[in-house]
Amino acid sequence: MALQFRDTLSGETRAFVPLSREQTTIYSCGPTIYGPAHIGNFRSFLFADLLVRWLRARGQVVRWVVNLTDIDDKIIRAAAAEGVEIRAMTDRWEAVFRADMAALRMSTPDVMPRATEHIPEQVALVEQLLANGHAYRADDGSVFFRIASWPAYGALARLDPEAMRVGERVESDEYSKDDVRDFVLWKAAKAGEPSWETAVGTGRPGWHLECSAMSMRHLGEQIDIHTGAIDLIFPHHEDEIAQSEAATGKTFVGTWMHCAHLQVSGDKMSKSLGNIARVSELLAAGADPRALRFALISAHYRTSLNYTPDSLAAAGAAISRLDAFQTALRARVAGGIAGSGDADASAQTIAASSWERFARSMDDDLAVPEALAALFDLVRDGNRALDAGCSGAAATAMLATLEQIDATLALLPAAAELPHGAAELLEARRAARAAKSWSDADRLRDELAALGVVVEDGRDGQRWRIGGVGE
RNA sequence: GGCGACGUACCCAAGUGGUCUAAGGGGGGGGUCUGCAAAACCCUUAUUCGCCGGUUCGAAUCCGGCCGUCGCCUCCA
């Protein structure tokens, strides 16, 4: 099966063909950096990470942009409330976000542009839209996009523009405009708010504008894939399409991909329920970042994911199973037993078929649950082959498949390093076991455990791995 | 009110017309192996897919109704 993705705009799952064979361009709506990101935010970002990793695993060159929204109403209010400079505050939360990204093994985007560093690009878009009649200036100097000038408006969200006139919430709008449905491109300066003096007036950009401008600046006027969570479909992405295509006359995005929300024990995460799980807080409390990653990527991106109090422990157990399998494979590779024909043959078959099934699943609109089933079948069947006495060469083949799969999933432990003193303890325990000094061996095992080193004995001898939380 | 998604075992979660007497992970129970432990393996834990009708030779999968949950309908990942 060829690579295919579901596109929100057309509603179809269709073969993915990038505009250029040289490079695939992806833009992901990133965080507003005014506070710690929560696990719902990261579900969305890790979905994009999986997409990028999978395309790269298939050999495509991917250029990935994730923006940082560093100017908007919430940021202005938060900085004012704290009495700090906006830049100081956004710098601080950007650092936290980057630390969370690294901990959860999200690939580092090629560019992480900030809205405030792309004012000229945004102004140019506004000028273009004013010039071609898709935008107009209001009495206070703000500039709005004229939705009436864009018949396709509403296509992404499947909203009827006419119906949107009903239920208009005029009072919530702070700016005057011709039509309540119109959205702001440029906000005229207001007292106490940051502003830029530009060709379209003194003010600041509206939220939707930054993504169009930065996407064009770093990826070109047309890109292959744009990702985000479903709540961004309307109005954010709808507005991006309108302003981008009205400005360039070209199709803005080839494939729109949106992930469903995460829920906590069946409820929406919300301040009122007090159930917002923030990544940096979970990690500080000792959550295993690999387990958290597993928990957040394990459901299909287009279905809601229910995060419960048991999720981390269940994910941790699954991760531990992967670790143990990798350790056992390495022990067999190093130990090199003679091997049995049957076990070797089945190991080779398992190694090849597991990869095929994994790849087929990922190709099918990132069917991660099915891909994980392929991975865990590899673990079970691989353990079986190990038990049946397969050779080191056969184990090498399975290890290669495991690691090939992990290039996309990023769940296996980082290259393990023994804590200081552990190597000596391991050697002492090996000697103790050889001498059948069981009490010494058991004591040494406990000492190693205290250092976070899990020791297991098998037919390939003593083997160890780093266990427990953190890592 | 409009648009859309969903309801599968104790929990998480695939499957969307026959190969489903329903994948995978976690948890529970029993067993094998092992100096012990751990790991691993084996058996077991939904004849059933919210409920009621219908279409079909055949439905978890299609259609209709009902119940329930969630999302969007102007700045929320």
Query: Does the pLDDT at position A262 exceed 60?
Result: yes
Is residue A316's beta carbon less than 7 angstroms from any atom in nucleic acid strand B?
Answer: no
Find and list the nucleotides of strand B having atoms within 7 Å of a protein beta carbon: 1-6, 11-15, 23-27, 34-42, 69-77
In a domain, A376, yes or no: yes
What's the rounded Cα separation, in Å, for the pair A28 and A215?
9
Is residue A377's beta carbon less than 7 angstroms from any atom in nucleic acid strand B?
Answer: yes
Whole-number distance in Å between A183 CA and B2 C1': 21
DSSP A110: S
Closest CA to A75 of A96, A94, A98, A61: A94
Q: Name the residue range of residue A146's domain.
A: 4-294
Q: Is residue A194 located within the same domain as residue A271? A: yes
* pLDDT digit string, tens, across residues A214-223: 999 999 999 9
Range A110-129 average pLDDT: 96
In a domain, A236, yes or no: yes
Whole-number distance in Å between A246 CA and B27 C1': 55
Q: What share of chain A is helix, strand, coil (3-state, %, to 5)?
A: 50, 15, 35
Query: Does the pLDDT at position A372 exceed 50?
Result: yes
Q: Is residue A171 located within the same domain as residue A261? A: yes
Is residue A235's beta carbon less than 7 angstroms from any atom in nucleic acid strand B?
Answer: yes
**Number of domains, chain A:** 3
Q: Is residue A382 located within the same domain as residue A290? A: no
End position of a domain, from candidates A294, A322, A356:
A294
In a domain, A175, yes or no: yes
- A428 vs A78, A349, A456, CA distance in Å? 57, 39, 15
Q: What is the CATH number of the domain that holds A261?
A: 3.40.50.620
Whole-number distance in Å between A295 CA and B58 C1': 38
Give the residue with minimal CA–C1' separation from B41. A384
Q: Is residue A330 located within the same domain as residue A201? A: no
In a domain, A23, yes or no: yes
Q: Is residue A333 located within the same domain as residue A355? A: yes
End position of a domain, from candidates A377, A409, A441:
A409
Q: Is residue A427 located within the same domain as residue A403? A: no
Query: Does the pLDDT at position A471 exceed 80?
Result: no
Q: Is residue A56 located within the same domain as residue A156? A: yes
**Among the ranges given (A38-42, A264-268, A371-375, A387-391), the one the predictor scored with the smallest mean pLDDT:** A264-268
Other CB atoms within a 10 A radius of the CB of residue A355 amount to 18
Q: Is residue A279 located within the same domain as residue A246? A: yes
In a domain, A29, yes or no: yes
Chain A window 416-455, residues with Cβ within 7 A of nucleic strand B: 433, 438-439, 441-442, 445, 454-455
Is residue A140's beta carbon less than 7 angstroms from any atom in nucleic acid strand B?
Answer: no
Here the contacts of A126-131 (C-beta below 8 Å, separation 24 or greater) are A126/A185, A126/A186, A126/A200, A126/A209, A127/A199, A127/A200, A128/A247, A129/A185, A129/A243, A129/A246, A129/A247, A130/A200
Q: Is residue A253 located within the same domain as residue A346? A: no
Q: Is residue A119 located within the same domain as residue A256? A: yes
In a domain, A414, yes or no: no
Closest-approach nucleotide to residue A327, Cα vs C1': B39
Is residue A110's beta carbon less than 7 angstroms from any atom in nucleic acid strand B?
Answer: no
What single-letter amino acid sits at A259? Answer: C
The DSSP element (H or E) to which A137 belongs, if any, is strand A135-137
* pLDDT digit string, tens, across residues A277-331: 999 999 999 999 999 999 999 999 999 999 998 999 999 999 999 999 999 999 9
End position of a domain, from candidates A260, A294, A328:
A294
In a domain, A262, yes or no: yes
Mapping DSSP to helix (H, G, I), strand (E, B) and coil, where does residue A63 land? strand
A265: phi then psi, degrees, rounded to nearest 5: 50, 40
Of residues A458 and A372, which shows the higher confidence score? A372
Closest-approach nucleotide to residue A436, Cα vs C1': B35
pLDDT category, A257, cuts 50, 70, 90?
A: very high
Q: Is residue A209 located within the same domain as residue A148? A: yes
In a domain, A239, yes or no: yes
Whole-number distance in Å between A317 CA and B12 C1': 13
Tell me what the pLDDT averaged over chain A comes to: 92
